[in-house]
Amino acid sequence: MRAWRRIRVFGAVVGVVGLSGLIGAGCSMMQSEQAAKGKKLYAHYCMHCHGETGKQNEGFNWSSMSDPKPKDLSNKSEMGTFKDEDIFNTISRDMKDTSPNGDKIGDDEFAVPTMPTFKYTLSEEEIWGIVGYVRSLHGKKLEFNVEGRKKELQEAKQSAEQKYQEAERLEQEAEKKANDEAEKKGVEVDDNAYAKEVQAMGQAKKELDQATAALANFTTRPGKGVNIARPDLNMKPDVAAKMTEIGKQLYVTKYGCNGCHKIGEDGGKVGPALDRAGYRLNPTWVYRWLRNPQAMKPDTRMPSLGLNDADAKAVALYLKTLRAPKPDKPLGKVSEE
């Protein structure tokens, strides 16, 4: 009998150990998948400036960028001072106006002015994948629990759905009761009789929408399936001139277009040179491209920078003015059109 008990205990221990091993293996597999996705995204969107291993002057575009240059992502002593959330917030920040009268930017901020944002291009889950890969470049591991956050958002949405369904049921019951009572009395229905339930259902719907949006932002690319309508660029000459000047400033001081595009001798070489953009690019096309590049070319390296209607019009009008003479020799090949 004792021997049988020992066998049962031993079997239970083996089962627990085996289950722990399976869970551990599952977590390792998910982390490996995240790392692989992060590496692929980094190679597509980041390597041309930061290099394969994150070292300065390793990316083919690094030397073409204006000062300050991108940080050395392999520098553990410096990169170790940033939290996972700091790196995430840098990659998914809103672009700031770096002109003298623009937004205040602290000296300790991670991003340089010409670094684009990926807030409007990649899902939060994808950005965390890049953060994880960046961590590996200076010998650290991602501490943020990506799968845990995803599960938390999924559970929050499920809970919000249940709450809304219950609120809807109570509202329908209260409305039916009010209708029945009004019919018995032969009077008009008193909407105030179930106003409390209507309000509760509205609040539950709001919370459900928020939970749905939070999960969507985490798992889905924000610009996916969003088609940009053609803009109205017809305006008075003085208005167009003013917007063109604003576009010229935005090009450099806010959206850092010069980090990837060259005009004359200045600028990067990730995207095509824009010296002759006024000849070869239609302003309407430029506007739509600026608002959502991925809708027009899903595999483009250029991210959506979050330009609003006015800014996109201004930059499109500025590019229309760039009409440099045709070069004697063909321009060098760029990474993408």
pLDDT tens digit sequence for 102-148: 665 544 455 677 889 999 999 999 999 999 999 999 999 999 999 99
d(Cα 145, Cα 87) in Å, to the nearest integer? 15
Beta bridge partners of 263: 266
**pLDDT value for 19:** 47
Whether residue 242 is found in the same domain as residue 315: yes
**pLDDT value for 43:** 97
Q: Flag whether 333 is in a domain.
A: no
Whether residue 211 is found in the same domain as residue 161: yes
Burial class (CB in 10 A: 0-12, 13-18, 19+), 93: middle
Amino acid letter for position 41: L
Domain that holds residue 212: 151-219
**pLDDT value for 103:** 67
Between the CA of residue 108 and those of 78, 99, 200, what are the distances in Å? 11, 18, 45
Q: Flag whether 301 is in a domain.
A: yes
Residue 267: phi, psi to the nearest 5? 120, 170
**pLDDT value for 16:** 47
**pLDDT value for 290:** 97
Whether residue 244 is found in the same domain as residue 315: yes
Q: Flag whether 330 is in a domain.
A: no
Given 189, 219, 249, the domain boundary residue is 219
Contact predicate 284/233, CB 8 Å: yes
CATH of the domain at 308: 1.10.760.10
Q: Flag whether 89 is in a domain.
A: no
Whether residue 214 is found in the same domain as residue 257: no
Q: Flag whether 254 is in a domain.
A: yes
Whether residue 210 is found in the same domain as residue 242: no
Whether residue 316 is found in the same domain as residue 241: yes
- The residue written with tokens 């219950």 in the block is 166
Whether residue 212 is found in the same domain as residue 270: no
Q: Flag whether 102 is in a domain.
A: no
**pLDDT value for 2:** 54
Angle (deg, nearest 10), helices 309-320 and 237-253: 100
Residue 258: phi, psi to the nearest 5? -70, -10
Whether residue 205 is found in the same domain as residue 156: yes
Q: Structurally, how many domains does the chain consist of?
A: 2
Q: Flag whether 315 is in a domain.
A: yes
Whether residue 247 is found in the same domain as residue 283: yes
**pLDDT value for 68:** 81
Q: Flag whether 332 is in a domain.
A: no
Given 192, 219, 246, the domain boundary residue is 219
**N-terminal to C-terminal alpha carbon distance within the chain:** 78
Whether residue 194 is found in the same domain as residue 247: no
Sign of CA dihedral 218, 291, 59, 99: negative
65: helix, strand or coil: coil
Which residues, given as ranges, of the chain have pLDDT below 70? 1-31, 102-111, 329-337
